[in-house]
Amino acid sequence: MTAEVKFVRLECLETEDNGADEVYMHYNGGFMAGIQDIETGGTWNLGVVRNVDGEATVSLFDEDDIDEDDHLGTIIISESEVGLGLRSQSFNGDDANYLLFYRVRPADND
Ligand SMILES: [Ca+2]
Ligand SMILES: [Ca+2]
Ligand SMILES: [Ca+2]
């Protein structure tokens, strides 16, 4: 069985930068979404769908100009989460705090 992940939204509870972060996400190491300006208390509505076969990784980064981009964390999403409704996992790297909401559902076979 193959499942798919629908990424619903990313909530920012605490930015990495002073002021807004410029965030983007990778899925299984490839670019998925961004760059999005987001402030503490802000929400980024995603609506992105990706297939998941077994397990998949999602990484969150903050883009910076004067130094290296910051890796704010990597989570693992599993096909076994299918049908469990709205799920969330957090990214806590570099003292930032983000919450990613997603659903895992059976993939359309047609
Ligand atoms: Ca930064
Ligand atoms: Ca930044
Ligand atoms: Ca940096």
The per-residue pLDDT for range 15-73, each reduced to its tens digit, is 999 999 999 999 999 999 999 999 999 999 999 999 999 999 999 999 999 999 999 99
* Ion ligand 3 residues within 5 Å by Cβ: 64, 67, 70
- What is the reported pTM? 0.95
Sorted by where each begins, the domain ranges of the chain are: 3-105
Sign of CA dihedral 102, 13, 69, 72: negative
Distance 41 CA to ligand 3 centre (A): 21
Whether 110 shows a pLDDT value over 60: the answer reads: no
What size, in residues, is the chain?
110
Q: How far is it, in rounded angstroms, from Cα 108 to Cα 110?
A: 6
Which pLDDT value is given to residue 108?
Answer: 74
Categorize the per-residue pLDDT at 13 as very low, low, confident or very high, splitting at 50, 70 and 90: very high
Which pLDDT value is given to residue 109?
Answer: 60
Distance 104 CA to ligand 1 centre (A): 30
CATH homologous superfamily of domain 3-105? Answer: C2 domain (2.60.40.150)
